[in-house]
Amino acid sequence: MDSAARRRYKALPLIANPWEQTQDQHPHHGIPNGIPTTSTANNDKSLPTVTIREDDSGAPAFRERGEASSIELFYDLFFVANLTSFTAVHAIDDRKTITSYIGFFAILWFTWLQVVLYDVRFGSDSLFERLCKLLHFGAMVTFAIIGTRFDPSRPHDTYVTMRQLSMVLIVSRLVLICQYGSVMWWVRKYKSITTPLAVHVVSFGVGALLCLGFFFAFTAGSSGQGYVVWYVIVAAEALVVFVASGQWPKVGFGETNLDERFGLLTLIILGEGIIVLTK
């Protein structure tokens, strides 16, 4: 097999290096001038040389992100599909149903947001990342199933649904902990990067534990108001991530495509809304 074919059919790594660059790969925005790089030796000259881009402090710089990948866009479509299935089952025509819709939308949106905040900074292609993506897709599918029965105004009848939703939130946070943990392993020598990532992991761990506590709180005889804590948890997690990213710019959003992901999701939602209005 020639060198071109070997590069084309390169085996997918188990866990990908989040800052790996190669001479034969072309980053979305290229390697900026003036930024030093470190190359690793390669005994096989037919294979690309691995290059690690470093910042002024000598810490590794993560890949710059450009266009959203196909799998990321597919994940956005799952988000919109959840909203569509919810509105198809629930007639949103009074205060109670509007409140229920806003509540479901908030949980769904914050879950989508956390996945996107990871992808735009540390997303890579590996067997591990694909497995995590599969679990995130599974969470979205479960949201779609739960959404048809989501009704906080009837806690005695829907406490099982509330428990299921708590479990989905727990699994989603455990997957994020594994993803951020894998990045921490790659940058374990750089405290300026591991510290904010550890803050991320702790926030998701606390959120998962709280969701687990409220999983058991939802019973047939409960008041049903415990679901309000979900919104506090997901909002607090997002606040922690944004604050930590602002305090430690090395894990910030300066060179990411976060604005593109928000713009694409907005366009998809508007397009779905127009389709609904024309029916």
pLDDT band at 209 (very low <50, low <70, confident <90, very high): very high
Q: What does the pLDDT read at residue 37?
A: 43
**Which pLDDT score is estimated for 25?**
43
In angstroms, the CA 92 to CA 141 distance is 22
Q: How confident is the model at residue 2 (pLDDT cuts 50, 70, 90)?
A: low
pLDDT at 45 over 50: no
Q: Where does 148-227 have alpha helices with state H?
A: 155-186, 191-217
Average confidence (pLDDT) over 46-71: 61
Question: In this structure, are residues 268 and 76 in contact, taking their beta carbons and an 8 Å threshold?
Answer: yes
pLDDT tens-place string over residues 97-136:
888 888 888 999 999 999 999 998 888 888 899 999 999 9
Residue 279: which residues within 8 A CB-CB, separation 6 or more?
none
The pLDDT of residue 34? 37
Percent with pLDDT over 90 in the chain = 27
Interatomic CA distance for residues 175 and 193, integer angstroms: 20
In angstroms, the CA 150 to CA 110 distance is: 17
Q: What was the pLDDT predicted at 279?
A: 58
Alpha-carbon distance of 197 to 30, in angstroms, equals: 25
- Tokens matching residue 170: 């727990």
Top-ranked range on mean pLDDT: pick from 9-18, 59-68, 174-183 = 174-183
* pLDDT greater than 60 at residue 93: yes
Considering only CA atoms, give the Rg of the chain: 21
Q: What is the mean pLDDT of the chain?
A: 78
| The one-letter amino acid at 220 | A
| Backbone conformation region of residue 127, classed left if phi is above 0, alpha if psi is from -120 to 50, else beta | alpha
Confidence of residue 156 (pLDDT cuts 50, 70, 90): low
Confidence band of 40 (pLDDT split at 50, 70, 90): very low
